[in-house]
Amino acid sequence: MTGAAGTVGTTTITGTTGSTGSTGTTGITGTTGTPDTRPCSPVAARVEVVRPAAADDRGKVRAATAVTVGEDEAVFPGHYPGFPIFPGVCVIECVHLSGLRTPPPGSAGLELVAVESTRFLSPVFPGDRLAVDLVWTGGSGAWKCAAKVATERGPAAQVRLRFAAEEA
């Protein structure tokens, strides 16, 4: 579409037809106030790091985040009109973004390579605060992240993701 313009993220791309849009990364701010970057995402909510990734007393690498689902999320008008529910794929994306914000010690450049499993236990509504507890396993460039997601009402989802990483 010649001459059309759009914005998603922060990187500008000019196509061969002269159209201008953007794609790439968006800035997010952690609890320390320092900006980070993340892949383009259908989820506007910010990830708050509650507990950075660290080994616990049993040697498991654990982390925790919180994500508040805003009433202004772009997915709500169509999912579902009059009874908005946060789509399951967006819950998975919250886990993905949480993993990027809390990488295991010694890993760098995490990249999602697979959604291994998901189980949705209860709906997520506008205004819900998601508590995301992550457990990392693996190493040597291959990491798995098992997450439990809960709202104030109780468990909402269980998600397992696989990441590739450049070892630091």
Q: Nearest Cα to 42, choosing from 81, 102, 83, 97?
A: 97
**Residues with catalytic function:** 79
Q: Nearest Cα to 104, choosing from 32, 52, 45, 59?
A: 52
Averaged pLDDT, 31-56 = 78
- pLDDT for res 37: 58
pLDDT band at residue 32 using 50, 70 and 90 as cut-offs = very low
How is domain 41-167 classified at the CATH fold level? Answer: Thiol Ester Dehydrase; Chain A (3.10.129)
- pLDDT for res 166: 79
Question: Is pLDDT larger for residue 23 or for residue 42?
Answer: 42
Question: Is pLDDT larger for residue 79 or for residue 95?
Answer: 95
The residue type found at 134 is L
Share of the chain above pLDDT 90, in %: 64
- Tell me how far CA of residue 49 lies from CA of 15, 46, 62, 95, 148, in angstroms: 37, 10, 12, 12, 15
Query: What predicted TM-score, i.e. pTM, was given to this entire model?
Result: 0.77
Distance CA 5, CA 22 (A): 8
**Residues ≥6 apart with Cβ < 8 Å to 105:** 53, 54, 55, 61
Element (H, E) at 68: strand 61-68
Give the chain's count of helices (H) and strands (E): 1, 10
Q: Token pair of 21, please?
A: 């849009």
Domain positions in the chain: 1-40, 41-167
- pLDDT for res 120: 99
Cα angle 159, 162, 165; round to 5: 140
- pLDDT for res 36: 53
What is the maximal distance between C-alpha atoms in the chain?
Answer: 59
Q: Nearest Cα to 120, choosing from 101, 144, 95, 102?
A: 95
- pLDDT for res 10: 31
